[in-house]
């Protein structure tokens, strides 16, 4: 798969994809990542990429022409529906997008080609979202000064789901979110650290008991930290009883 990032700060990406799983996936030829300077697609002497917003207001808005030209020169198309039909996803990163979830990351990982547009300044001419982008995506309910850190997040989340990127094909299946639950807590040596012991069941060697503890701990952590996710989990009778028991203990 190939990921092209369109940005006014191509140097931002220097080195960030040279670590861990992303580095290995790139070295193994599973994923190719390239950052492109939006200014390459301007035609004026000052390489202007932004302009004042119609209707007034503070700040500057990224102009549509260089962005459309960039996507066209990278993919050959400028129409969202056509691009999507040919397996290309054009992602506009902005706080106005739909939320990046594990499910959406997996969907992007199945595309052959992803073009990522990093927004900047006060915004991006809306025609990019209306006509060019197949997806407008936000990485969370907070405002970054630009889409670049979000692009790093997206590339990481997508790359590790490309088949072969993780050690074994199954390792992504048991992770947080793949079942709508947070991951269970992990411990390693020492057994006692600063007066706190690892839960005894994990030292027991009792696989069924360990599995039961992990499921309950994951449920309990999800309920505490992510009540929004917990609401959507389906529980068996045993699990419901243990969660209710825990509620009583509070
Ligand atoms: N650009 C600015 N804030 C953003 C966010 N939360 N997600 C994606 N892109 C952004």
Q: Could you report the per-residue pLDDT of 139-179, keeping only the tens digit for each?
A: 999 999 999 999 999 999 999 999 999 986 556 765 777 68
Average of per-residue pLDDT across 81-86: 96
| Ligand 1 atom nearest to CA at 119 | 1
If you measure from the C-alpha of residue 37 to the centroid of ligand 1, how many angstroms do you get, rounded to a whole number?
19
Probe target for ligand 1 pocket from 147, 152, 153, 156, with the most ligand atoms within 8 Å of CB: 147
Please tell me if the CB atom of residue 119 comes closer than 6 angstroms to any atom of ligand 1. yes
Collapse the DSSP code of 98 into the 3-class scheme (helix H, G, I; strand E, B; otherwise coil) and give the result: strand
pLDDT tops 90 at residue 216: yes
Q: Residues of 145-181 as b/e, b for ≥16 C-beta within 10 angstroms?
A: ebbbebbbbbbbbbbbbbeebbeeeeebeeebeebbb
Give the pLDDT confidence score for residue 238 in this predicted structure: 84
Please tell me if the CB atom of residue 144 comes closer than 6 angstroms to any atom of ligand 1. yes
Please tell me if the CB atom of residue 159 comes closer than 6 angstroms to any atom of ligand 1. no
Please tell me if the CB atom of residue 123 comes closer than 6 angstroms to any atom of ligand 1. no
- Mean pLDDT (the chain, rounded): 94
Average of per-residue pLDDT across 59-73: 97
Residue 121 — pLDDT band, cuts 50, 70, 90?
low
Average of per-residue pLDDT across 234-245: 86
- Measured in degrees and rounded to the nearest 5, phi and psi for residue 111 equal -80, 150
Average of per-residue pLDDT across 112-119: 97
If you measure from the C-alpha of residue 136 to the centroid of ligand 1, how many angstroms do you get, rounded to a whole number?
10
Give the pLDDT confidence score for residue 18 in this predicted structure: 98
If you measure from the C-alpha of residue 187 to the centroid of ligand 1, how many angstroms do you get, rounded to a whole number?
34
Average of per-residue pLDDT across 218-228: 97
Give the pLDDT confidence score for residue 174 in this predicted structure: 56
Give the C-alpha separation, 151 to 117, whole Å: 8
Q: Which two tokens stand for residue 34?
A: 């390239």
| Ligand 1 atom nearest to CA at 140 | 6
Average of per-residue pLDDT across 78-106: 97
Residue 250 — pLDDT band, cuts 50, 70, 90?
low
């Amino acid at each position: 798969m190939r990921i092209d990032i369109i940005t006014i700060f191509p140097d931002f990406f220097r080195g960030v994809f040279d670590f861990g799983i992303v580095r290995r996936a790139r070295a193994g030829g599973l994923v190719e990542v390239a950052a492109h300077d939006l200014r390459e697609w301007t035609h004026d002497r000052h390489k202007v990429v932004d302009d004042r917003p119609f209707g007034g207001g503070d700040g500057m808005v990224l102009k549509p022409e260089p962005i459309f030209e960039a996507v066209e020169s990278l993919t050959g198309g400028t129409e969202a529906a056509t691009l999507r039909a040919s397996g290309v996803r054009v992602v506009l990163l902005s706080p106005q997008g739909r939320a990046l979830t594990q499910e959406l990351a997996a969907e992007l990982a199945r595309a052959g080609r992803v073009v990522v547009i990093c927004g900047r300044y006060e915004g991006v001419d809306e025609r990019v979202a209306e006509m060019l982008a197949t997806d407008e995506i936000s990485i969370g309910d907070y405002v970054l000064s630009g889409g670049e850190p979000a692009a790093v997040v997206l590339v990481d989340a997508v790359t590790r789901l490309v088949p072969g990127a993780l050690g074994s094909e199954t390792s992504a299946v048991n992770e947080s979110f793949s079942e709508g639950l947070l991951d269970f807590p992990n411990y390693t040596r020492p057994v006692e650290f600063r007066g706190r012991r690892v839960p005894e069941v994990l030292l027991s060697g009792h696989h069924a008991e360990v599995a039961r503890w992990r499921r309950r701990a994951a449920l309990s952590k999800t309920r505490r930290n992510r009540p929004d996710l917990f609401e959507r989990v389906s529980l068996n009778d045993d699990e419901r009883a243990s969660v209710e028991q825990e509620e009583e203990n509070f």
